[in-house]
């Protein structure tokens, strides 16, 4: 089994790169793909860059050129669900594009026109492994729920209220739905793992740099447990 691991930023994947046995590095679409082994498992690790287009391109390359059997997207996000705090973890049940709006043609916000699904469901086995891997660390609360994505950094109480009411979302970020979308089209199992770096409200621009490293540490710990269990 070959596992593709995507992080949007260097900070989200650097520790995995440093810990893995790197066999080779390939550069495609201005991205560097690290191939090798980690905890005895075959992995491909890559920094996609921020945003949905970068994430989608990266995911398709992992599938087409590196033949990954599963994709794990790890990183940080803003908390949407009211009980979630900085440092807690959300494992995706499904993902939605919150910034996709063709309501003028009768579609729901988030619905991609002429697709059979509204949300992109994560693989149940991977979700279970991720939840158990997170709960084993016991340093934070673990939630499983919907994650929403858009090409925006959210820093607004009004938007968070809207996201809760419209999408019943647990977390918001900028890549996961695109990765899920590509995996769905290619029938590749996936899960998105997010550690909360901020509350995505009016204080998000302050909380994000302060708590980012703590959130990334949590994600890396869970990812290590996941790979060990797969």
- pLDDT tens digits, one per residue of 71-92: 999 998 999 988 898 889 999 9
Contact 94, 119 (CB under 8 A): yes
Residue 34: pLDDT over 80: yes
Tell me, yes or no, if 108 is annotated catalytic.
no
Kindly name the residue from 12, 94, 173, 175 that is annotated as catalytic: 12
3-class state of residue 145 by DSSP: strand
Q: Is the pLDDT of residue 215 over 90?
A: no
State the residue range of the domain holding 9. 2-229
Q: Is the pLDDT of residue 8 over 70?
A: yes
Contacts 24+ apart (CB under 8 A), 103-107: none
Residue 202 has pLDDT above 70, yes or no: no
Q: Which residue shows structure tokens 């996961």?
A: 176
Mean pLDDT of 90-109: 98
The answer to whether the beta carbons of residues 180 and 112 sit under 8 Å apart is no
Active-site residue, from 88, 175, 198, 201: 198
Q: Is 12 a catalytic residue?
A: yes
Q: Which residue has the higher pLDDT, 213 or 126?
A: 126
Q: d(Cα 26, Cα 46) in Å, to the nearest integer?
A: 10
154 with 34: CB under 8 angstroms? no
Using pLDDT thresholds of 50, 70 and 90, give the confidence band for residue 216.
confident
The CATH number of the domain holding residue 179 is 3.40.50.1580
Tell me how many domains the chain contains: 1
**Chain-wide mean pLDDT for the chain?**
93
Rounded CA gap, 128 and 110, in Å?
A: 26
| pLDDT at position 145 over 80 | yes
């Amino acid at each position: 089994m070959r596992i593709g691991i995507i992080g949007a930023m260097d900070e989200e994947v650097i520790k995995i790169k440093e810990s893995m046995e790197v066999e080779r590095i390939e550069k495609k679409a201005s991205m560097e793909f690290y191939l090798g082994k980690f905890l005895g498992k075959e992995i491909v690790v890559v920094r996609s860059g921020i945003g949905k287009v970068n994430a989608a391109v990266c995911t398709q390359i992992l599938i087409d050129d590196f033949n990954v059997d599963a994709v794990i997207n790890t990183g940080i996000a803003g908390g949407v669900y009211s009980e979630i705090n900085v440092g807690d973890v959300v494992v995706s049940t499904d993902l939605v594009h919150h910034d996709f709006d063709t309501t003028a043609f009768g579609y729901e916000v988030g619905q991609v026109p002429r697709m059979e699904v509204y949300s992109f469901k994560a693989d149940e086995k991977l979700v279970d492994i991720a939840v158990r891997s997170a709960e084993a660390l016991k340093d934070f609360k673990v939630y499983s729920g919907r994650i929403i994505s858009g090409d925006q950094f959210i820093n607004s109480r009004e938007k968070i209220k809207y996201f809760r009411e419209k999408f019943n979302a647990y977390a918001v970020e900028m890549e996961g739905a695109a990765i899920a979308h590509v995996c769905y089209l290619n029938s590749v199992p996936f899960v998105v793992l997010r550690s909360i770096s901020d509350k995505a409200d009016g204080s998000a621009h302050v909380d994000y740099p302060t708590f980012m490293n703590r959130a990334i540490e949590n994600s890396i710990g869970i990812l290590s447990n996941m790979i060990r269990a797969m």
